[in-house]
Chains A and B, each alone.
Chain A
């Protein structure tokens, strides 16, 4: 018992410092991975053709409340296409229109307004991706979570179905959890 207590004590003392180091180094990798994942999701999701025709033939990804990811994403998609189209990354501020988006990433900083944002896009052909715990309950379609220092994601099929989006079974195969309802 003694040794366990001492270990816990030590852990408690060291935790804030370790966490800070870990977070600064971890966030950087996390941003890269998440940006890459966002780009890759395009391969595994089918949009209705009418939706793809909008916004001048460009595939538009909106990023809300996560500028680091937006920046990384811009870098990732710079020379790439999704569904054969060039990709635009739009940084969205509070109150900006959410129209003409194909994908929307909502950062952790906007987690409190998540329900509001999700309801705004609900029924629209916009793939919504979040990084907040229990975000699926708010109506998000894909939600990043960290598992053993790795970025994983859960998928909710119901809101995607409402947005006429088809998520590939191959994507579902690598999802941590798939919520049908």
Chain B
């Protein structure tokens, strides 16, 4: 406010100074010009007057007629500014003269032609010449009002200046009232709004000029700001309410999650405990079952060997069947033990080449059934990080299945490969064997689930369950795609999905 006022005063002072300067210069110029005109005009006038008087008086001088000369001189009384006048004859003696009261004495002798200013009077001497002869001299002393005029002008100038200043002051007041004050009012409103954040304030918009327009624009803007602020506040309120709600909900969810996790942990530990119990039970049962089974088989074999002559054929056949059943049971127990072992042993991860393992597995299978001719192709460079013993077991099962289910094909083919995409490796075992109906795909990896009768293909129904458990223990996934009589593909990964990504598209490609 202080600075603004001081600027206003400065501008006012400047305006006044400018006006004053212009006025003074103009007045000075006018006065100088006028005084100059006056000086020149008055001297010319008096010189002319003297000349005129000289001409008029020439006959009187010529004929030495003082009466007539005095009459001529008396005419000058019509001009009260002429204080004194005289006519000197050719010899310089005063011929006639007149002077107003209190006037200085006449000069003793006439001076040379010319006019000069003597303080407050102008003195003119003018020769009277006729026919080249000097008849005399006219002397005129007249008032010289230059200083009076100057004083009068200065008075007028002072008056004019004063009036002009007053007018300028009034005008400036008016300008201030009409132009500056509304602007200041708007600026005050703006400052108040900035200070107090009160957007309800409004500028005075009664003026019909540009300032009014400005005020209206400012007001419109303020209204807009007020509205926006209000909306913002409302939405802020709503938002904070929502945030609170959401936070509460999140809190609840977190609580629920925690509770759920707690419960899951409890259940898991219960389950793990139960599983462990079950597995221990299963292992010990299987383990304990092997000894009596081996006894049954052993004694059946001893009966057949030691008493083959005494036993009828019928009896021998029964014994044979007992032995085959016990052997199958032994196999079953072995498988169950394997399955249980898969769950119980610690994972020993190392970099293994699945291709090598597959090659060894296929070699063993060929050794066992040298009569079969299967076209096996195993891809090279199938590195993976896994427990080599468990991976071997898984491959034994998968390749063994492929070997088994291609046994009725004319041109059996088995392919073991690996699809890589970045760090993700998806291994697969493909065959062109019996395949299966995808409708039963979900039953595929359950223990004792069989999609084919034992008469068609041998098997305990535990192999794929074992494979799945091995894959799961590595954190991977296993799935299959097949068509009846067209073969099957088993895909598996050996790392969690988060590390390997989604394997499905590649699997579909490999199955095609």
| A residues with CB within 8 A of B | 33, 37, 40, 43-44, 80, 150-153, 168, 170-171, 173-174
Q: How far is the CA of A171 from the CA of B130 in the complex (A)?
A: 13
For the A-B complex with A170-B58, A174-B62 known, give 9 more contacts whose Cβ atoms are closer than 8 Å: A40-B63, A43-B130, A44-B59, A150-B64, A151-B63, A170-B59, A173-B68, A174-B59, A174-B60
Q: Is B194 an interface residue (CB 8 A)?
A: no
Q: How far is the CA of A42 from the CA of B259 in the complex (A)?
A: 156
Residues of chain B within 8 A of A37, CB atoms compared = 62-63
Q: Is B6 an interface residue (CB 8 A)?
A: no
Q: Are B65 and A174 in contact (CB under 8 A)?
A: yes
Residues of chain B within 8 A of A43, CB atoms compared = 62, 130-131
Of the A-B pairs whose beta carbons lie under 8 Å apart in the complex, a sample of 11, sorted by A's number, is A33-B64, A37-B62, A37-B63, A43-B130, A152-B65, A170-B58, A173-B59, A174-B59, A174-B62, A174-B63, A174-B68
Residues of chain A within 8 A of B131, CB atoms compared = 43, 80
Q: How far is the CA of A44 from the CA of B55 in the complex (A)?
A: 13
> Shortest CB–CB separation between residue A141 and chain B, in angstroms?
15
Q: How far is the CA of A119 from the CA of B59 in the complex (A)?
A: 29
> Shortest CB–CB separation between residue B343 and chain A, in angstroms?
166
- Encoded as 1 (CB less than 8 Å from any A CB) or 0, chain B from 38 to 68 comes to 0000000000000000001011101111001
A interface SS class: helix
Q: How far is the CA of A180 from the CA of B130 in the complex (A)?
A: 27
Residues of chain B within 8 A of A150, CB atoms compared = 64
Q: How far is the CA of A131 from the CA of B56 in the complex (A)?
A: 26
The list of the 7 closest CB pairs from A to B, nearest first, reads A174-B65, A170-B59, A174-B59, A174-B63, A174-B68, A40-B62, A174-B60
- Pick from A44, A80, A151, A173: contact of B64, CB under 8 Å: A151
Q: How far is the CA of A171 from the CA of B56 in the complex (A)?
A: 11
Q: How far is the CA of A152 from the CA of B60 in the complex (A)?
A: 11
> Shortest CB–CB separation between residue A149 and chain B, in angstroms?
11
Q: How far is the CA of A44 from the CA of B131 in the complex (A)?
A: 11
Q: How far is the CA of A152 from the CA of B63 in the complex (A)?
A: 8
> Shortest CB–CB separation between residue A129 and chain B, in angstroms?
13
Residues of chain A within 8 A of B58, CB atoms compared = 170
Q: How far is the CA of A44 from the CA of B59 in the complex (A)?
A: 9
- Encoded as 1 (CB less than 8 Å from any A CB) or 0, chain B from 398 to 426 comes to 00000000000000000000000000000
Q: How far is the CA of A163 from the CA of B6 in the complex (A)?
A: 96
- Encoded as 1 (CB less than 8 Å from any A CB) or 0, chain B from 130 to 142 comes to 1100000000000
Residues of chain A within 8 A of B68, CB atoms compared = 173-174
Q: How far is the CA of A150 from the CA of B60 in the complex (A)?
A: 13
CB neighbors of A among B197-226 (8 A): none
Residues of chain B within 8 A of A44, CB atoms compared = 59
> Shortest CB–CB separation between residue B158 and chain A, in angstroms?
51
Residues of chain B within 8 A of A151, CB atoms compared = 63-64
Q: How far is the CA of A80 from the CA of B133 in the complex (A)?
A: 10
Q: How far is the CA of A30 from the CA of B131 in the complex (A)?
A: 23
> Shortest CB–CB separation between residue B251 and chain A, in angstroms?
136
Q: How far is the CA of A163 from the CA of B170 in the complex (A)?
A: 82
Residues of chain B within 8 A of A80, CB atoms compared = 131
CB neighbors of A among B100-146 (8 A): 130-131
Q: How far is the CA of A37 from the CA of B62 in the complex (A)?
A: 8
Which partner residue on chain A sits nearest B132 by CB separation? Answer: A80
> Shortest CB–CB separation between residue B51 and chain A, in angstroms?
15
Q: How far is the CA of A151 from the CA of B63 in the complex (A)?
A: 8
Which partner residue on chain A sits nearest B69 by CB separation? Answer: A174
> Shortest CB–CB separation between residue B509 and chain A, in angstroms?
147
> Shortest CB–CB separation between residue A154 and chain B, in angstroms?
12
> Shortest CB–CB separation between residue A87 and chain B, in angstroms?
12
Which partner residue on chain A sits nearest B66 by CB separation? Answer: A150
Q: How far is the CA of A150 from the CA of B68 in the complex (A)?
A: 14
Q: How far is the CA of A6 from the CA of B246 in the complex (A)?
A: 161
> Shortest CB–CB separation between residue A72 and chain B, in angstroms?
16
> Shortest CB–CB separation between residue A80 and chain B, in angstroms?
8
Q: How far is the CA of A43 from the CA of B59 in the complex (A)?
A: 9
Q: How far is the CA of A15 from the CA of B65 in the complex (A)?
A: 28
Q: How far is the CA of A80 from the CA of B68 in the complex (A)?
A: 26
Which partner residue on chain A sits nearest B67 by CB separation? Answer: A174
Residues of chain B within 8 A of A153, CB atoms compared = 63
Q: How far is the CA of A44 from the CA of B130 in the complex (A)?
A: 11
- Encoded as 1 (CB less than 8 Å from any A CB) or 0, chain B from 62 to 105 comes to 11110010000000000000000000000000000000000000
> Shortest CB–CB separation between residue A125 and chain B, in angstroms?
21
Q: How far is the CA of A168 from the CA of B56 in the complex (A)?
A: 12
> Shortest CB–CB separation between residue B63 and chain A, in angstroms?
5
Which partner residue on chain B sits nearest A170 by CB separation? Answer: B59
> Shortest CB–CB separation between residue A37 and chain B, in angstroms?
6
Q: A43-B130, A43-B131 are in contact. Are A171 and B64 (CB under 8 A)?
A: no
Q: How far is the CA of A139 from the CA of B236 in the complex (A)?
A: 137
> Shortest CB–CB separation between residue A132 and chain B, in angstroms?
19
Residues of chain B within 8 A of A171, CB atoms compared = 59, 63
> Shortest CB–CB separation between residue B370 and chain A, in angstroms?
179
Residues of chain A within 8 A of B63, CB atoms compared = 37, 40, 151-153, 171, 174
Most chain-A Cβ atoms within 10 A of its Cβ — which of B62, B63, B64, B65? B63
Which partner residue on chain A sits nearest B133 by CB separation? Answer: A80
Most chain-B Cβ atoms within 10 A of its Cβ — which of A151, A171, A173? A173
Which partner residue on chain A sits nearest B63 by CB separation? Answer: A174
Residues of chain A within 8 A of B65, CB atoms compared = 152, 174
Residues of chain A within 8 A of B62, CB atoms compared = 37, 40, 43, 174
> Shortest CB–CB separation between residue B73 and chain A, in angstroms?
13
